[in-house]
Structures are given as structure tokens and as C-alpha cells.
Amino acid sequence: MISKFFGNVFSGRIFKGRQPRIVPYSEHGIARERISPCALSVTQTLQEHNYTAFVVGGAVRDLILGWEPKDFDVATSATPEQVRQLFRRSRIIGRRFRIVHVMCGRETVEVSTYRGSALASEENEQQIADEHGRLLRDNVFGTQEQDAIRRDFTLNALFYDPSTQQVWDYHNGFEDLKKKRLRMIGDPEQRYREDPVRMLRAVRLSASRGLDIDQPTRAPIKSLTALLANVPAARLFDEMLKLLLSGHAYECVMALRQEGLHHGLLPMLDVILDQPMGERFVMLALRNTDARIKNEKSVSPSFLFASLLWHEVLAAWKKLEGEGIPPIPALYQAMDQIVQSQAEKLAIPRRYGSDMKEIWVMQPRFHQRSGRRPFRLVENPRFRAGYDFLLLRCASGEVDPAIGEWWTRFQHVDEGERKALLTQEAEPATRKRRRRRRRPGAEPAKQAEPS
């Protein structure tokens, strides 16, 4: 079945006779023990059935860079149905391009059949690219060398065979990796036109892995940024989420701005970068997220989005109050407006809305530090998120750091001491004195402590 597809592709000029450079273990130093047990067993089983199978993509790149891979992808000559037959716990997923998820214990390995490029095949009767050159389909099977060609960057196109511990390299990706150079396979402008998301990937990979974007790969980006507008919103969202949760969100967002990729194209990024008031807040939120990921703490996308949009909410809230609406109803209306407008633009899917609102709506309650209210707030199941959010507001200069410190103390002491704190709080003279002492050269409050 596969050979039928191969016939087409060998006619393409670029595919003739390209041989991979075989990088031996002595050069790359990746032992098969570094491959996850699931990926190892998948490649081994496929090879036992006379298919070729390699670990591919980000995992090989990250292992050579000395990073722990997030997940393992396998590329094989077997079709999805053939893969499916070999693994009991597996399922075929994807509509546009079908891949197989193979499960072992809690691990899932993504197995894809080598793909060719639809442009290079002879299926030209069907429309395969839009008027800007964006590929609408790339779902033909191909050979391993074609599979390498359709990948984005040279260092993402390395194939590792655990049985021989060899890396197969068709595009000098190994050398680029050693030189920390991010280089597009093929003609960069054409590749960005085929899939504008590659511009975001270039920025994310270079910023998160400390790679330099090769000049010819970087050069076309500035003039092509508008193409991102043609990419389906859900796909952009996925890519943005990857970027924001990469552990290097701060560097990535700075780099996006530097490449001019933030403007007018991604509603969510506009929000992040075009609010001078909120910029400090957003940057702190990004650093805070990065720190949590570095420390292997959980991060919730809703918390992050709540941070990214907070100053939008504040602005809308103030406006509604100015129109005579009482504070709390005005806050609710403002939240609805902002969540609604993000969902309309598909910048942030609706499913995150209620978690974001929970965090926001808690904020005015942190300013009430008398009576029973603080006791109730501490018991709120979402208190921790609300409190972390408050600390960001303190650190950004929006809220008096003393309030954050008060809540830090309040949650950690026993009932009796809590009551004492309340009493102090109710006494205005103390509050004034404390504030005066803190003001000159006051340090911003500590960032949210990872829990």
C-alpha cells in the first residue's frame, strides 16, 4: 500500500538520492537507556515486524541538548492500521493526518507513519494550498527522507534508532544542534507560507532552548507576520499555550515582540503587550509561571489567562463604576465582558472562563480584613490561586504589599492569632504608621511562593 504513494514522490527533484549522515553513538552520546520504556518497546516491536522505526523530533533534539524530553514520538514505515494491529492498547486518532497513540502504563507514545509533502506529489488536481501558499493538507505517506524534508527545522528532523543507537541525519541537523543554530529545512519563506505557525515555533524553540535563528531563517519573518491571521484560531491557541507553558514564557514573549509577531494577529498577545498599565503585571505573571515550571509545580492555564487579562478587567470595571454601577455588580459585568470578547475572538476558549472569574472575584475580598470574612475566604477551595494572584498584584505595585503580607501571616497562624490580626487591622492608626514606614524604597512583595 505504501509503495503506491512512493511512486509519486520519487519523481520530485529534491528527493533524488539523498542519503542520511549516520551519526554514531560515539559522537552523539545518547544511550538507549535515555529513551522511555514505552518508546523503546514500540520501536522494538515495529522492527521485529520488519518495519523501520525511529524516535524522532523534539525528543532527539532535547536529548542531544541535554534536556529531559517532554514526550517521545516515533516515526515508522508501518501504516496506522499496521501499527494499531501490533499494540493492544492503541488507538488511531486525528482526522487530517491519522496517527496512533500507543499506551504503556501511564505513558503514551505518538506513532506516525512517514509522511511526504503533498506539494511534491502529483495530486495537483486537488487544492492543497490556499492563495497565500498555506498547506491545507499534507496527509500523504512517504519515505523516511521525505518525512525529514517536511519537518520544520534541521534539528527537529533527526531520527534515532534505539537498536543501533545511531542518529540518521538528512539535513545536517546534528551539526546545527552542536552550533545551537536553528535552521529551516528548504526555502524559509515558502515553508512559512505553507504553515505560518512555523514562525511561532522558530521563536519558541530559539527562546526556550537558547538557539540562534540562522539569518536566512529569521529574515522573512518580519514581512510575513500577517499570514498568522489565516491560521485557524484553535491552532494558534494551542501554539500559544505551548509557548506560555514552555517554562520560558518570558523569553518567548519578549522574542515574539522583537520579531514583530505580537501585533494585531493574536488577540491574546495583543492583550499581553499592548496594555502599558498591565505590562509589569503580565511580565511578573510570566516569570512566576516559568519559575513554577522550573520547580516542577503545577501551573494552571486559567491562572495565567486570568493574569494576562486582569488589567483589561480592571479598566472595564473602572469604566462601569464611572457609569454609576456599584462596585461588585460592576466587577461581575466587567468580567463577563472580557471573557465574552476573548471567547468571540477565540483567543481564550470559553472553558477557562469560570476558573478565571473565580480568581478575579476573590480579589476585592482580600481588602476586607475584619469580621468573619477573612475566615471564610481562607476556607475557599480556590483561596490559594486567589492569594497567589493577590501577591502578583502586590509585586506589580497595584496593591499595597502590606495587604499581601497580612494574608501571608493570616493563613499561617492559628485561630487566636488570626483574631489578633483582625483587631490590629481594625485600628486605623496602626495601619497608617505601618504604611508610612514601608513606603520609601519599599521592596516589591515576594512573588507567589510555589505551593
**Catalytic residue IDs:** 71, 73, 152
- Residue in 151, 181, 292, 311 binding ligand ATP, rule: CB under 6 A: 151
Residue 173 near ligand ATP by CB under 6 A: no
Q: List the one residue out of 242, 238, 228, 168 whose CA is nearest residue 197.
A: 228
237 in Cβ contact with 350 (< 8 Å): no
Residue 101 near ligand ATP by CB under 6 A: no
Of residues 56 through 75, those in contact with Mg ion by CB under 5 A are 58
Cβ nearer to ligand ATP, comparing 154 with 275: 154
Residue 242 near ligand ATP by CB under 6 A: yes
Rounded to whole angstroms, how far apart are CA atoms 56 and 296? 25
The count of C-alpha atoms lying within 13 angstroms of the C-alpha of 7, restricted to the half-sphere facing its C-beta, is: 6
Helix segments in 210-362, DSSP class H? 215-218, 221-224, 233-244, 249-258, 267-273, 276-294, 301-322, 327-344, 353-362
β-bridge mates for residue 103, sequence order: 108
227 in Cβ contact with 196 (< 8 Å): yes
Residue 145 near ligand ATP by CB under 6 A: no
Q: How does strand 212-213 pair with strand 99-104? A: unpaired
Of residues 185 through 214, those in contact with ligand ATP by CB under 6 A are 195, 197-198, 201
Could you tell which of Mg ion, ligand ATP, none binds residue 438, using a CB distance below 5 to 8 A set by kind? none
- Residue in 57, 116, 142, 173 binding ligand ATP, rule: CB under 6 A: 57
Cβ nearer to Mg ion, comparing 59 with 285: 59
How many of the other CB atoms lie within 10 Å of CB of 400?
Answer: 19
55 in Cβ contact with 73 (< 8 Å): yes
Cβ nearer to ligand ATP, comparing 12 with 186: 186
- Retrieve residue 174's grid coordinates: 546534528
Residue 278 near Mg ion by CB under 5 A: no
277: helix, strand or coil: helix
Of residues 355 through 374, those in contact with ligand ATP by CB under 6 A are none
CB of 313 to Mg ion, least distance (A): 34
Stretch of 6-14, 152-160, 175-183, 387-395 contacting ligand ATP, by CB under 6 A: 152-160
Stretch of 1-9, 50-58, 76-84, 204-212 contacting Mg ion, by CB under 5 A: 50-58
Residue 280 near ligand ATP by CB under 6 A: no
Which residues here bind ligand ATP, judged by CB under 6 A?
57-58, 70, 73, 151-152, 156-157, 195, 197-198, 201, 242
